[in-house]
């Protein structure tokens, strides 16, 4: 079955840039989406179609994709950005969806 | 406002079956694809299944394929997940999730989840 691979954890100091990667064989042809999930809350979409930011999401959140890797970048991370981040995409057929394993971002 | 309310979770013995329901309100249910997503204790999100807005297409995660049936009743604004031959590793919170129309390919509303515990 198709998998998306993320690092389990990323840690930065406030104001630094956090980068969270997501690798998958179908990413050259399929979009990546990124969800932020804070403890006890529903996931929130922060990036869609590789690099688009939904309204209401701070500009410090950006996305990119190259080859088999998608990257979520948080420029000038804030303490309130601490959360689990999940990439989400589809397999090459477009039928099965898949989440990456999630990355716990620590900002301290 | 959009509401998704799951029910049907509980403790079930290995090998048994369970049907989850998700009551939708606050939007035109028949216009949206719907998903089930689960999260096992201490684990990440796992996509489980999707059903097209009209029920015409259904897709399942390989990890549960053959043991699941997703269905919907648009006249009752309700989504279902029939789970058979349950295993300990199916223990998780199961979320009902709406497919966005405005932003294709995204999940825009999540229910609060219903806990399924598979244990003897």
How high is the pLDDT of residue A101? 97
Taking the Cβ of residue B64 and every Cβ of chain A, the question of whether any pair is shorter than 8 Å is answered with no
For residue A98, list chain B residues with Cβ-Cβ distance below 8 A.
47, 61
Q: What is the mean pLDDT of residues B91-108?
A: 92
How high is the pLDDT of residue B14? 97
How high is the pLDDT of residue B63? 86
pLDDT bin (cut points 50, 70, 90) of residue B65 is: confident
B112 Cα to chain A: minimum distance (Å): 8
Q: What is the mean pLDDT of residues B70-82?
A: 98
The answer for residues whose C-beta is within 8 angstroms of residue B111's C-beta and 6 or more apart is: B4, B5, B6, B22, B95, B96, B97
Q: What is the mean pLDDT of residues B82-96?
A: 97
Query: If 0-12 CB within 10 Å is exposed, 13-18 middle and 19+ buried, where does residue B98 land?
Result: buried
């Amino acid at each position: 079955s198709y998998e998306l691979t993320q690092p389990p954890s990323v840690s930065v100091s406030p104001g630094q840039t956090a980068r969270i990667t997501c690798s998958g064989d179908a990413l050259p042809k399929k979009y990546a989406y990124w969800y932020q999930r804070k403890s006890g809350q529903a996931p929130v979409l922060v990036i869609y179609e590789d690099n688009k930011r939904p309204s209401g999401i701070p500009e410090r959140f950006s996305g990119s994709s190259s080859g088999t890797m998608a990257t979520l970048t948080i420029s000038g991370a804030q303490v309130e950005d601490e959360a689990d981040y999940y990439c989400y995409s589809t397999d090459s057929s477009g039928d099965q969806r898949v989440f990456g394993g999630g990355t716990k971002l620590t900002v301290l | 406002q959009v509401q998704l309310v799951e029910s049907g979770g509980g403790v079930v013995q290995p090998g048994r079956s369970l049907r989850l329901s998700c009551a939708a309100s606050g939007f035109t249910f028949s216009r949206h694809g719907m998903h089930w997503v689960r999260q096992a204790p201490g684990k990440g999100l796992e996509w489980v299944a999707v059903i097209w807005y009209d029920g015409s297409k259904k897709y399942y995660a390989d990890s549960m394929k053959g043991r699941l049936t997703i269905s919907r009743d648009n006249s009752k604004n309700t989504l279902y997940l029939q789970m058979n031959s349950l295993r300990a590793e199916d223990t998780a919170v199961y979320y009902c999730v709406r497919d966005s129309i405005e932003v294709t390919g995204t999940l825009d509303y999540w229910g609060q989840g219903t806990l399924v515990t598979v244990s003897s």
